[in-house]
Amino acid sequence: MKLYEYQAKSVFKEEGIAIPNSLLISEYSQLENALEEVGAPCVVKSQVLSGGRGKAGLVVFTPTEEDARRETKRLFEHELNIKNIMIEEAIDIKQEIYVAITIDPVLATGLLMVSVEGGVDIETLAVDSPEKIIKEPIDMRYGLMPFQASQVAFSLGLPNDIAKQLRKIFLKLYNIFKKYDAELVEINPLFITNNNEVIAGDGKLMIDDNSMHRQLKFEKQEADYKTEAEYDAAQEGIPFIQFDGDIGLMCAGAGLTTTVYDLIHYEGGTIANYLEFGGPNYKKALQSMEICLKVPSKVILIVTFGTIARADVMAEGIVEAINRLKPDRPIVTCIRGTNEKEAVKTLRSAGLEPIFDTEEAVRKAVALAKGV
């Protein structure tokens, strides 16, 4: 689960990391109170989960209160349907640092990453000049050791008083990383002010979805999802991604779903959604189809291969879903595996003619989507 900036910064503040003065507003009428609290110049910051907000015009420096009013109005009327905006004091910046703690998937360790060239171009820096990013492995048995934090902080070529502040921030970020079961905790940029203060200018905190039962403080709300289908899938625990193509994809098993996804593109089709209802979700055909029908598509392609998850049980769920939901678009099925014969009989009883070759099923779905 990826937190919003304001949520990440609230965690930073609790852990003793300095953040700018700010106020969160959820409607334009609250702006005047925020301006009275924060003043101008200020930064108007959309609270959305996408990256590159600055380059996309979703984070804007406003020299005057009138500029802040204009930009806040524009952002609340934005097509992204922005729910919250942070009005934040403008900081007198001397330098921007990049700091993050994440997981190194190759070494299976934690990883502290720091660069004195932080800011909006950090991704470009990582590609063009990776040597400018210091990487310090963290043995998760012991955590980030004080000597490691000191070594990295004092290797940056910054004044000693700033290096001492950075050392403390590195250790506090690791505490956050561990406490919140994080996959990533990041400050970019970490401001160094003209008064040699170190302040978190932005904040990212991504919590491992598998630990959300321990992190109830940040339970996702319906407003945090882009679509109703995404929210419903999350409530059911069904892996789901929505796109803007023509074919709604329902598959049993992540590997099979990814393979069929690739086959659809190979045959010239486009994906409306990726939905995987295998494993523990194989009895959720009704819920899965209900989710798929909330996505604009021209055809639904259902491909399963039942092993432990029985094909006949999945077929029964599909037929129940058809009878109850009465889909308004064609459905193509390819069901193989355990109790396959019973599954075929069940599907035929509902007027479906299952296809036994996955590639053939994909070609049929693509043709239907194209109106052929």
CA distances to 18, 163, 239, 323 from 294, rounded to whole Å, are: 44, 53, 15, 17
Query: What whole-number distance in Å separates Cα of residue 131 and Cα of residue 113?
Result: 11
What is the DSSP code string of 241-298? EE-SSSEEEEESSHHHHHHHHHHHHHTT--EEEEEE--GGGTT-HHHHHHHHTTS--S
Helix (H) or strand (E) holding 160: helix 160-179
Catalytic residues: 98, 186
The strand ranges marked E within the chain are 22-25, 42-46, 59-62, 85-89, 93-104, 109-115, 134-138, 182-193, 198-200, 204-207, 240-242, 247-251, 271-276, 299-306, 331-337
Which residues contact residue 30 at a Cβ distance below 8 angstroms, ignoring those fewer than 6 apart?
Answer: none
Length of the chain in terms of residues written: 372
* Residue whose C-alpha is closest to residue 89's, from 197, 217, 206, 204: 197
